[in-house]
Amino acid sequence: MSDKAILASQKAQIRCCWVCYKSSADGFRISYCKNSRAASYCSTECQRGDWKNHKEMCRRSAEQLALSDMLGSAMNTDKFMEWYTAHRETMYWAIYHGLDIKTHPENISKQAVYFVLQERSPGPCAKADLPSAFFATSITIRERAWVQELCKVNNQPAEIFDSATACDVRAREGGDVGSALVVLELEHGLKFCPVRIAKGELELIPPKHERWREDVLNAFRSGSPIHLSFAGRNPKKSKRRERTKG
């Protein structure tokens, strides 16, 4: 998958500057590091200021991406990225209820949502079929310490897990609930997806739904993503922007 295609698919996702915590959800333009495709910044100044911290992770991430591309991992295809983008809010639903963050927001820093995925049919598919191109065979809640050990067993660079932890620390320092960790397993490959949870979201999340896992599995199987208008956004900031525009 080309860098251009990956960066294009990331445009629809909520991004946060790793240095000053400005968010794309609040109207700021946030760009990814083209080399690692992970770190994101609002300006050249922030990117340069973080280089000392990001340099080693950038190198290792680039090496891992090159290896994945060479192996032809299904998670490095336009098909997978478009499926993930379509189900972004489905992932939020799993985070909200699986980690029970409305009642226990501290879980966001202690646990992770772990998906084992399977591709429905290898190869290209019609755009209308993308939301059902992959489905989950299991969804479990794991301690982050377990995920860290899994990285070691699978010879994943430590920096990949460390960067996800750093995202959570930065999010909390910036006033958000934190950055949840979603781990996707497909064809024995692992993909780590930090998902920012804004503080204002807690007010809108419904009480824990005991059948949340069934909801998510059905959304994947049917290709009908769960839609949440407030996912990844601080509703108070959004209302201020609307009043300003008006």
| Positive or negative: CA dihedral 193, 134, 130, 3 | positive
Task: Say what the pLDDT of residue 62 is.
Answer: 63
Average model confidence (pLDDT) for the chain? 79
Identify the three-state secondary structure at position 37. coil
Mean pLDDT in residue range 86-105? 92
- Kindly list the distances between the CA atom of residue 3 and the CA atoms of 34, 78, 220, in Å, as whole numbers in the listed order: 7, 11, 27
Task: Say what the pLDDT of residue 35 is.
Answer: 75
Q: Over the stretch 62-93, which tens digit does the pLDDT of each residue have?
A: 655 554 443 345 666 778 888 988 998 899 99
Type of residue numbered 126: A
Task: Say what the pLDDT of residue 232 is.
Answer: 53
Type of residue numbered 202: L
Give the burial string for 56-79 (b: 16+ CB within 10 Å, else e): ebbebbbebbeebeeeebbbbbeb
Q: Over the stretch 38-54, which tens digit does the pLDDT of each residue have?
A: 678 899 999 888 888 77
Please give the residue that has the higher pLDDT: either 241 or 106. Answer: 106
- What's the CA gap between 77 and 94, in Å, rounded? 23
- What's the CA gap between 29 and 35, in Å, rounded? 18
pLDDT at 104 over 80: yes
Cβ atoms within 10 Å, residue 132: 20
Per the CB < 8 A criterion, the answer to whether 116 and 216 are in contact is no
Identify the three-state secondary structure at position 141. strand
Which range (65-74, 118-127, 197-206, 234-243) has the least confidence?
234-243
Q: Over the stretch 129-171, which tens digit does the pLDDT of each residue have?
A: 999 999 999 999 999 999 999 888 877 777 778 888 888 888 8
Q: How far is residue 162 CA from its own chain's centroid?
A: 15
Mean pLDDT in residue range 187-191? 80
Which range (96-105, 139-148, 154-163, 227-236) has the least confidence?
227-236
Task: Say what the pLDDT of residue 51 is.
Answer: 87
How many helices (H) and strands (E) in the chain? 9, 6
In this structure, what are the phi and psi dihedrals at residue 22, rounded to the nearest 5 degrees?
A: -60, 145
Cβ atoms within 10 Å, residue 111: 23
pLDDT at 107 over 90: yes
Question: Count of residues for the chain?
Answer: 246
